[in-house]
Chains A and B, each alone.
Chain A
Amino acid sequence: MGRPITVTVNGEKTSAEVEPRLLLVHFIRERLRLTGTHIGCDTTHCGACTVLFDGVPVKSCTMLAVQADGRQLTTVEALHAGGALHPIQAAFKEEHGLQCGFCTPGMMMSSFALLAENPDPTEEEIRWALSGNICRCTGYMNIVKAVRAAAVQMKEAAAVPAGAATGS
């Protein structure tokens, strides 16, 4: 039988009735049709399904949708809210941090969480923070580079006083 839940997804409140056994990733992908969150293993290994749960990266393949009741979810689709690319997205493209793109949303969400907590991570710290996300294409070199580049970008953007960044 269905259970009512209310979840704030990418800033918008959504109510739904879900089976208690429905996996969070299926709720996101099938019910909300936010298909940027991927499934690569369904056993908490690959990280393709990573989303932010109250700001903390979680693997949505091993959580139930009902656990998200009353919580905040952020998926890859929120990164370019307002139309502009987030520096992490821009850096993944710029540094060639993706190939098939399947791991990319999860990678970017883990990177987002890392940079929120540690705005200036070392390469080692990045490699550790992303070690729950598997990529089979890139060998991680350029992903690490992309996260470093995003960190620098974000720091520079934060250093610019509000309103001063127009014109060039």
Chain B
Amino acid sequence: MAIETPLKGFVGESIKRKEDDRFIRGKGNYVDDITLPGMLHMAILRSPFAHARIRSIDASAAQALPGVVAVVTGELLAQHKLAWMPTLSGDTQAVLATDKVRFQGQEVACVIATDPYVARDALPLIEVDYEVLPAVVDPHKALQPDAPLIRDEKEGQTSNHIYHWEAGDKAKTEEAFAKADRVVTLETFYPRCHPSPVETCGIVADVNPATGHATLYLTSQAPHAHRTLFAIVAGLPEQNIRIISPDIGGGFGNKVPIYPGYVVATAASLLIGKPVKWVEDRSENLISTGFARDFHMKGEMAVRNDGRILGLRVKLLSDNGAFYADAQPSKVRAGLFHIVTGSYDVPAAHVEADGAYTNKAPGGVAYRCSFRVTEASYLIERLVETAAIELGKDPADLRIKNFIQPDQFPYKSATGFEYDSGQYEKALRLALEKVGYEDLRKEQAEKRKKGELMGIGIASFTEVVGAGPGKHYDIAGLRMFDSAELRVHPTGKAILKLGVRSQGQGHETTFAQIVAEELGIPAADVEVQEGDTDNTPYGLGTYASRSTPVGGAATAVVSRKLRDKAKKIAAHLLEASDEDIEFDHGKFFVRGSPSKSKTIQDVAFAAYTNLPDGMEAGLEGVTYYDPPNFTFPFGTYLVVVDIDRGTGQVKVRRMVAVDDCGVRINPMIVEGQIHGGLAEGFGIAFMQLITFDEEGNCLGSNFTDYLLPTSWETPKFETYETVTPSPHHPIGAKGIGESATVGSPAAFVNAVIDAVGHLGIKNIDMPVTSDKIWTALQAAGAAE
């Protein structure tokens, strides 16, 4: 029998995940699994109305129910200056409503009881006298002069307008449009959807009245940032707050904001002196926590008749709900939407964005997305498709004609980004080859003659991920660096502590592999710890695909720091000079005589037992890595669909994904990230919709109405790669968690439009449901 060399877990090896062992045994430790002695339970009373004045709240009957310990109202919080809290976009948000409710599902009061069932029993006993006000759910209407004023409590706020923001060069863009042969226009709405990790949000707040220490077990993608914000909001000394983000059952941006439930549970624990648990149910999650998208976009593209893009002009209106709570860096207003020029060499571009308050839940989280890059990517890829139809050109050719060329990197975009690296045509060509593009086009032509509808959709996306650099990007003033602390113990085993927080991305494995690569300690010997603010160095957390670009870079850099010290120790052990020591995957040897060598384990032992004179003991270090730039992952997705003329039903026949995320640390995990993102992209394109009726009732408040793709409807994916390392990242990696959700919706929708474009159907907004397609076919006189 052949003896297999066991994998060490170096970069590029698909080793199995270390974290799986507990999960497959049902031994994960999620927030809801935590039970503390004497723990109380909290339930939240939510507003049934989208807009109403609160005349009075009478909690006496609820208070009198046996088992109820306390009822917390906004008024009580106001006494502690906690009725309002700051949002991540510099606005304020009600913790518990005092004056008005501004969206259906808004938090009005909380019951704390000895039993979760009793806490729920008490909710309907709270009497709230509401005066219902007219609600506005459409941002266009919200901006009309006669619209009801939603934020009447805000000083100086006289309309529902939140912000105006621009990027790019307006004059230059106008010039480009003046020179164009034609202007291609697309108005499209990227509807509201919700990340919906299978685990909802929750907290166990444990404030010790004797010491004032608060331990908060929290579904948090950013525990350190949350601790600082808690300290500021609640006025608690930061050293007394410990946030533990245990295993997280998926995040996708949903667990970035601080929610009112967290604040009330913490305040209640502080006031009562007992631990308080709050875990929201699914409806609460869907109607009140961070939604995504909700962008109304108008894109115009100036083109020459030969297909060359000359300019891009975008106007967008974002619906931010009742509080402007977008999770995004503080210096931008519509996230990184200005990446909207995508993979193309667009000489001039201008973006104008406005935000509006509506009577809908606040949030605007980057759902598997780096701050609005998803909306941007969708718009440009749909626009290119529209241009191809209008110009009568093949959409692949049109892309190739306009791609930024490999020799143009670093490439300065018209809206101010500096792209690090890319080979867009290579990725597109690989996708075309793998799908068999030419044959498919022939088949499509044949089918069209017979009246059958078949479409091929392309999206060649470029993302911008891995924020900072800190001097340009911060969250609530906190610079967007990230950190890694590495301790190598005498026996050569190590612990790596990070400021980021995995929610399923496999950090315990991937980051151990970076240490393995840089120091030669097998990944199995490197324990990765995250999520506990007492035990890990400060970092901004995991979202916007920043763990590998920033936390991964920090890991590589700290490993290299230790390697430099290890070299000196090795020189001492080998009785050679430092400069003569070479290193290769865990072995230090004297240049020219590889037989004279010491392992990293020997060196680690010596770091505590046999040091050169004057050297400090130990082999430990910490790095705070501030990235010099973003990274720019890219790829091409190709979708083939068949559409039933009689029903409008779409069948996804093929889905080919070529991703380039730079160097792949663990290809198995990378591929898993792509699969997951593609399924979510499929869901967004065809199923996932949070919508509201005129009165502001949320119509996607459970999984019957808010449809998530299951194994049955999710198509199969064919994945391929190209590798273009990031030149500025220590190991050339770019980040992969979000590419597929960013890039794929446009590919799915383009496939549908490619099938029906010849009938004069230019656009169908997501989710592209059968009835929408059928209605469009009907209107075009082409339904069966």
A residues lining the B interface (CB < 8 Å): 19, 21-22, 29-30, 33-43, 45-46, 48, 75-77, 79-80, 85, 89-90, 92-94, 96, 98-105, 108, 126-128, 130-144, 168
Give Cα A140 to B19, complex, Å: 19
Which residues from chain A contact B717 at a C-beta distance below 8 Å?
A: 139, 141
Smallest Cβ-Cβ distance to A131: which chain B residue: B712
Given contacts A43-B702, A139-B714, contact A96 B669 (CB under 8 A): yes
- Tell me if B448 is interfacial: C-beta within 8 Å of chain A: no
Given A19-B117, A41-B282, A101-B20: A77 touches B25 (CB 8 Å cut-off): yes
In the assembled complex, B677 has its CB within 8 A of some CB on chain A: yes
A99 and B676: CB pair below 8 A?
yes
- Contact in complex: A141, B675 (CB < 8 Å): yes
A28 to B246, CA, bound (A): 21
CB distance from B530 to the nearest CB of A (A): 14
7 more A-B contacts (CB under 8 A) besides A101-B247, A133-B710? A35-B32, A76-B25, A85-B25, A93-B16, A134-B708, A136-B676, A142-B672
Q: A45-B702, A75-B26, A137-B504 are in contact. Are A128 and B33 (CB under 8 A)?
A: no
B615 contacts chain A at the CB level, 8 A cutoff: no
A35 to B23, CA, bound (A): 11
Q: A45 contacts B704, CB within 8 Å? A: yes
Given contacts A38-B198, A105-B26, contact A43 B504 (CB under 8 A): no
Question: How many inter-chain contacts with C-beta < 8 Å in the A-B complex?
Answer: 175
Q: Which of B2-10, B248-256, B477-485, B574-582 contacts A (4 or more CB under 8 A)?
A: B248-256
Chain B positions near chain A (C-beta within 8 angstroms): 1, 16-17, 19-28, 30, 32-33, 35, 117, 195-200, 247-250, 252, 281-282, 503-506, 668-669, 671-680, 702-704, 708, 710-712, 714, 716-717
> Which chain B positions have C-beta within 8 A of A48?
198
Pairs A-B, 4 closest by C-beta atoms: A36-B26, A100-B504, A102-B249, A101-B23
Residues from chain B with a CB closer than 8 A to the CB of A102 are 28, 30, 197-199, 249-250, 504
Q: A35-B26, A42-B281, A98-B23 are in contact. Are A136 and B196 (CB under 8 A)?
A: yes
A150 to B24, CA, bound (A): 14
Tell me the minimal C-beta distance from A47 to chain B in angstroms.
Answer: 9
Pick from A22, A108, A142: contact of B24, CB under 8 Å: A108
CB proximity of B289 to chain A, nearest CB, Å? 14
Which residues of B have CB within 8 Å of A105? Answer: 26
- A138 with B16: CB separation less than 8 A: no
Contacts of A46 in B (CB 8 A): 198, 282, 703
Report B297 CB to chain A, min CB distance, Å: 26
Least distance between A138 CB and chain B CB atoms (Å): 5
Which residues of A lie under 8 Å from residue B708 when comparing CB positions? 134, 136
- Give the residues in chain A near B702, CB-CB below 8 Å: 41, 43, 45
B21 CB contacts on chain A under 8 angstroms: 93
Docked Cα-Cα span, A130 to B668, in Å, equals: 22
* Central interface residue in A37, A39, A101, A141, by most chain B CB within 10 Å: A101
Contact A101 B676 (CB under 8 A): no
Name the B residues within 8 Å of A43 (CB-CB).
282, 702-704
CB distance from A9 to the nearest CB of B (A): 13
B666 → chain A closest CB, angstroms: 9
> Which of A19, A75, A135 is most buried by chain B, counting CB atoms within 10 A of its CB?
A135
Per the bound structure, the CA–CA distance linking A77 and B28 in Å amounts to 11
Tell me if B249 and A134 are in contact (CB < 8 A): no
Q: How far, in whole Å, are A94 and B14 apart by their CA atoms in the complex?
A: 10
Chain B nearest CB: distance from A133 CB in Å? 7
* B672 and A36 contacting across the interface, CB-CB below 8 Å: no
User: B16: nearest residue on chain A (CB-CB)?
Assistant: A93
**Across the interface, do B198 and A89 meet the contact criterion of CB distance under 8 Å?**
no
Q: Which chain B residues border A36 with CB–CB below 8 Å?
A: 25-28
Contact present for A131 and B711 (CB under 8 Å): yes
Supposing A43-B703, A134-B710 touch, asked if A93 and B25 sit within 8 A by C-beta, the answer is no
User: What separation, in Å, do the CA atoms of A31 and B23 have in the docked complex?
Assistant: 21
Per the bound structure, the CA–CA distance linking A127 and B671 in Å amounts to 20
Residues of A within 8 A of B281 (CB): 41-42
Chain A residues lying within 8 Å of B714, measured Cβ to Cβ, are 139-140
Q: Is the CB of B675 within 8 A of A40?
A: no
Q: Are A131 and B199 in contact (CB under 8 A)?
A: no
A139 in complex: contacting residue of B252, B676, B703, CB < 8 Å: B676
**Neighbouring A residues of B195 by C-beta, 8 Å:** 136
Contacts of B247 in A (CB 8 A): 100-101
CB contacts (< 8 Å) of A131 on chain B: these are 710-712
Would A132 and B710 count as touching, CB distance under 8 A? yes
Q: Once the chains are docked, how many angstroms separate the CA of A44 from the CA of B20?
A: 26
Least CB distance from B184 to A in Å reads 33
Q: Are A100 and B25 in contact (CB under 8 A)?
A: no
Q: List 8 A-B contacts (CB under 8 A).
A: A19-B117, A34-B26, A99-B672, A99-B676, A102-B30, A102-B197, A130-B711, A139-B717
**Inter-chain contact A100/B197, CB cutoff 8 Å:** yes
Residue from B30, B676, B703 within 8 A of A137 (CB atoms): B676
Given contacts A38-B30, A46-B703, A48-B198, contact A104 B24 (CB under 8 A): yes
- A19 and B546 alpha carbons, distance in the complex (Å): 47
Nearest CB in chain A: distance from B35 CB, A: 8
**Please, which residue of chain B has its CB at the minimum distance from the CB of A90?**
B24
Bound Cα distance from A15 to B129, whole angstroms: 46
Give every chain A residue within 8 A of B196 (Cβ-Cβ). 136
Residue of A at shortest CB range from B33? A35
Q: Which of B1, B198, B680, B716 contacts A100 (CB 8 A)?
A: B198
Q: Which of B35, B196, B282, B673 is packed against the most chain A CB atoms within 10 Å?
A: B282
> Could you say which residues of chain A place their CB within 8 Å of the CB of B282?
40-43, 45-46
A82 CB → nearest B CB, Å: 13
The distance in angstroms between the C-alpha atoms of A141 and B655, with both chains bound, is: 12
CB contact between A92 and one of B24, B28, B669 (< 8 Å): that residue: B24
Q: How far is the CA of A32 from the CA of B30 in the complex (A)?
A: 17
| Closest beta carbon of chain A to B315's beta carbon, Å | 33
In the complex, residue of chain A having the shortest beta-carbon distance to the beta carbon of B27: A36
In the bound complex, CA of A138 to CA of B252 (Å): 13
**Cβ–Cβ < 8 Å partners of B22 in chain A:** 101
Contacts of A29 in B (CB 8 A): 32-33
Docked-complex contact B26 and A92, CB < 8 angstroms: no
Neighbouring B residues of A96 by C-beta, 8 Å: 16-17, 668-669, 671-672
Contact of B199 among A38, A45, A144 (CB under 8 A): A38
Complex: A134 Cα to B28 Cα, angstroms: 18
Once bound together, how far apart are the Cα atoms of A61 and B537, in whole Å? 39
Q: How far is the CB of A105 from chain B (nearest CB, A)?
A: 5
Quote the shortest CB–CB distance from A158 to chain B (angstroms).
Answer: 21
Task: Name the distance in Å between A124's Cβ and chain B's nearest Cβ.
Answer: 9
- Give chain A residues whose Cβ lies under 8 Å from the Cβ of B248: 100
Whole-angstrom distance between the Cβ of A90 and the nearest chain B Cβ: 8
Instruction: With both chains docked as a complex, state the minimum distance between the C-beta of B30 and any C-beta of chain A, in angstroms.
Output: 7
Q: How far apart are the CA atoms of A62 and B539 in the complex, in Å?
A: 40
C-alpha spacing A162/B419, complex, angstroms: 62
User: Are B16 and A128 within 8 A (Cβ)?
Assistant: no
Question: How many angstroms from the CA of A103 to the CA of B250 in the assembled complex?
Answer: 10
Decide yes or no: A104 and B677 within 8 Å by CB, A41-B703, A48-B198, A136-B197 being known contacts.
no
In the bound complex, CA of A21 to CA of B118 (Å): 12
A99 contacts B505, C-beta separation under 8 Å: yes
| Contact between chains at A45 and B716 (CB < 8 Å) | no
Q: How far is the CA of A134 from the CA of B676 in the complex (A)?
A: 12
Least distance between A39 CB and chain B CB atoms (Å): 7
A37 cross-chain contacts in B, Cβ below 8 A = 26
**B198/A140 in contact, CB under 8 A:** no
Asked if A139 and B669 sit within 8 Å, CB to CB, the answer is: no
A75 to B26, CA, bound (A): 9
A134 touches B19 (CB 8 A): no
In the complex, how many angstroms separate the beta carbon of B682 from the nearest chain A beta carbon?
A: 8
8 Å CB contact of B26 from A41, A45, A77, A130: A77
Of B25, B200, B676, the contact of A89 (CB 8 Å cutoff):
B25
- Pair B668/A40 contact, Cβ less than 8 Å: no
- Contact check, A101 vs B716: say whether CB atoms are below 8 A apart: no
Q: A35-B26, A77-B25 known; A137 and B711 CB under 8 Å? A: no
